[in-house]
Amino acid sequence: MATVAGCGLDASRREPVLDGAAIAYRDGSRCSADPEVLRPAADPFAADGGLRVLHGNLGRAVMKVSAVAPEYWRTEGPAAVFDDQHDFLAAFDRRELDRDHVAVIRYQGPSANGMPELHKLIPALGALQDRGYRVALVTDGRMSGASGKIPAAIHLTPEAAVGGPLARIRDGDIVRLDAASGYLGVLVDEEQYGTREIQGSAPDDARWAGTGRELFASFRRHVGATEHGASVITPFRRSTA
């Protein structure tokens, strides 16, 4: 593909330099100038990548471990459950979360409220970790990049708004997040857990009437699971008959 640098990806590796009054190009460095930032494939930061997929009785989630210190890869603690990120932040401001806990922020998936960015949670959770508390985050919402130094199981599927297990979790339930073994679950008898009533709810459309939210109601009703791309378009599958 042609770009301003030329054709092919290798053209983008060339460095522009001045040759008198004209611009010339020379081959870029073949070695990283700072291996603490960029490493070659022969010497990666982690041999198996910086992401983990977690499975358990809460569903399936993804965790970015590359920025989290290994001693925090396994966290277990009582759930602090919120249906809105702003309620969590208000509780943080009131110092009600100065304790070991796993913050559960649910009804943040595509069917609930369109899956908004949840990065506002990270500074608060980071501050709690700096105060010496053992904390983690579990959510069916998203973060569009680094989740910082906090162990965070995000994009949990199935989401709470479609009756996923996260909708049955309660304050005080013990949640275990273990990136090393790939486990994410609540330590409650599974038969008992399955008979619990669903708690909480997605944001009420009536509350947002007039803001444009109602325009996307049909998308929220028909959107697919996060782990399948949160799309309303069903992929075409060729018949093998």
Q: Range of 146's domain?
A: 51-194
Rounded Cα gap, residues 91 and 200, in angstroms: 17
Is 67 part of a structural domain of the chain?
yes
Query: Taking Cα atoms as reference points, which of 125, 123, 141 lies closest to residue 133?
Result: 125
| CATH number for 62 | 3.50.30.80
Per DSSP bridges, beta strands 174-178 and 183-186 are antiparallel
Inter-CA distances, 60 with 12, 54, 73, 188, Å: 38, 6, 16, 17
Is 181 part of a structural domain of the chain?
yes
Whether residue 155 contacts residue 227, with contact meaning beta carbons closer than 8 Å, is answered with: yes
pLDDT band at 93 (very low <50, low <70, confident <90, very high): very high
Rounded Cα gap, residues 26 and 32, in angstroms: 16
Q: 28-69 pLDDT, tens per residue?
A: 888 888 988 888 888 888 877 888 999 999 999 999 998 899
Rounded Cα gap, residues 45 and 215, in angstroms: 44
**Listed range (94-108, 116-130, 171-185, 223-237) with the worst mean pLDDT:** 223-237
Is 129 part of a structural domain of the chain?
yes
Whether residue 32 contacts residue 38, with contact meaning beta carbons closer than 8 Å, is answered with: yes
Is 134 part of a structural domain of the chain?
yes
SS3 210: coil
Is 32 part of a structural domain of the chain?
no
Q: 200-223 pLDDT, tens per residue?
A: 988 776 766 676 667 777 777 778
Average pLDDT score over residue span 144-150 = 75
Is 70 part of a structural domain of the chain?
yes
Is 73 part of a structural domain of the chain?
yes
Is 4 part of a structural domain of the chain?
no
Whether residue 232 contacts residue 222, with contact meaning beta carbons closer than 8 Å, is answered with: yes
pLDDT at position 147 is 65
Q: 149-203 pLDDT, tens per residue?
A: 999 999 999 999 999 999 999 999 999 999 999 999 999 998 899 899 999 988 7
Those residues whose C-beta lies under 8 Å from the C-beta of residue 201, and which sit 6 or more positions away, are: 83, 107
Q: How many domains does the chain have?
A: 1
